[in-house]
Amino acid sequence: MMTSEKITVLVKAAFAGTSGQFRPGAFFDDRLDCIRVIAKDCSFLETRINEHLTVLEDNYAKDSDATPYVGFTIKGARHFCYNNGFSLEAPIQLSALLDAVLRSFPGLLVEVVVNGIARPLVKNKKIEQVEIWGISESWPLAAASAQPA
């Protein structure tokens, strides 16, 4: 049985060497099957662009802020990556991922979001790649992509 002291030691060990400060980054949310890029630690509103792309807007952006946009989400990440030829075994460059978004969802609004919001955000915050992890063998596309051709 875990005591509160043992749990405290484990938590401290897990966060040893980290400052505890927010860092902009990209991550794969396994439970929601999406890629999230978040550049600012704040409360935000999600504005859906289409069934796969959402932008994140700072709820309390000040007039002096250069942009109210603080991130974006790509939903259906496993299927999207599979359909666009990305290996789920290695980190994916965000520039290539954004190129695939443009190819997959042509249209003026998506182009404005990708080139006017997402690309400047990842460039300014130096967010270069995302790792897709949490793929299980029970997921059909993961199992299919792991089999030799």
- Residues forming beta bridges with residue 13, ordered by sequence position: none
Distance CA 115, CA 117 (A): 6
Band (89; pLDDT cuts 50, 70, 90): confident
pLDDT reported for residue 98: 97
Average pLDDT, the chain: 83
Band (93; pLDDT cuts 50, 70, 90): very high
Distance CA 143, CA 149 (A): 12
DSSP state for residue 115 in the 8-state scheme: I
Distance CA 116, CA 113 (A): 5
Residue among 109, 28, 108, 138 nearest 75 (CA):
28
pLDDT reported for residue 81: 93
Residue among 76, 7, 67 nearest 48 (CA):
76
Q: Copy the structure tokens of residue 99.
A: 């190129």
What tens digit of pLDDT does each residue of 16-28 get?
666 668 889 999 8
The domain limits of the chain are: 24-140
Residue among 122, 3, 30 nearest 101 (CA):
122
pLDDT reported for residue 120: 96
Strands 53-58 and 34-38: unpaired
> Taking the CA of residue 39 as centre, how many other CA atoms within 13 Å lie in the half-sphere pointing to its CB?
23
